Amino acid sequence: MPKKLSRRLQELQSKVEERPYEPTEALKLLKETATAKFPESAEAHIRLGIDPKYTDQQLRTTVSLPKGTGQVVRVAVIAKGEKVTEATNAGADIAGSEELIGEIQNGMMDFDRLIATPDMMPQVAKLGRLLGPRGLMPSPKGGTVTFDLTQAIEEFKAGKLEFRADRTGIVHVMFGKASFSAEDLLLNLKSLQETIDRNRPSGAKGRFWRSIFISATMGPAIEVDIPSLRDMKAAEAA
């Protein structure tokens, strides 16, 4: 049975035409339709011409949003010896070694990003079943397996995000807060688009970009004109 839409969402959907919007126009509409009683995020849902069941068509990478995410990111670090102290001094919210692995095994998940040094990964591997479904398992591709803890912590706290295409080839990623200016959201969205293009899987054939929709957390989907976004220079977005 189809889910009944609330009156609020029905009214918001009536403001959105079924057509691709120029990026700035789409972002202004996103802000206009962010009427929930809590600070909503700005989300992008991008359908790509890939089939991730093939290894050469998978997309997993990171993007550093120039205007940040608008969120406080809690970073945990699993390391050993002096690296634990380095992580703490660099601003990690939680840092530890075997004892931290034990706490996570017992259900402690008070973090948004988990970074591990390469020498700890054999022990971190046992956390795969817990962390994998939550998207928290450290990985080299995601920039979360590294000895350069200071840089990694600073980047993730400043707005670096890890994202991947799901099994249907769609990327779901938060690219800011609806309270951001349309100009700041455009800078972040443009950075996301350029990152996806730079990391186009080698096995992707034919039309790579199929559709892109943006929305506030509780708002209606707004289609963005792909050629307009891709043709826009970063300087224009700024």
* pLDDT at residue number 1: 46
Band (13; pLDDT cuts 50, 70, 90): confident
Alpha carbons 63 and 16: distance in angstroms, whole number: 28
* pLDDT at residue number 72: 87
* pLDDT at residue number 232: 86
Tens of pLDDT, residue by residue over 35-92, are 888 999 999 999 999 999 999 999 999 899 999 988 888 999 999 999 999 999 999 9
Tens of pLDDT, residue by residue over 144-179, are 999 999 999 999 998 888 899 999 999 999 999 999
User: To the nearest whole number, what is the mean pLDDT of the chain?
Assistant: 92
For tokens 């380095």, the residue is: 86
Residue 234 has pLDDT above 60, yes or no: no
Residue 3 has pLDDT above 90, yes or no: no
Residues 6+ apart with CB under 8 A from 155: 64, 143
Q: Which residue in 76, 118, 134 sits closest to 101, CA to CA?
A: 76
Residue 236 has pLDDT above 90, yes or no: no
Over residues 128-149, mean pLDDT: 91
Residue 9 has pLDDT above 90, yes or no: no
Q: Which residue in 113, 32, 28 sits closest to 73, CA to CA?
A: 113
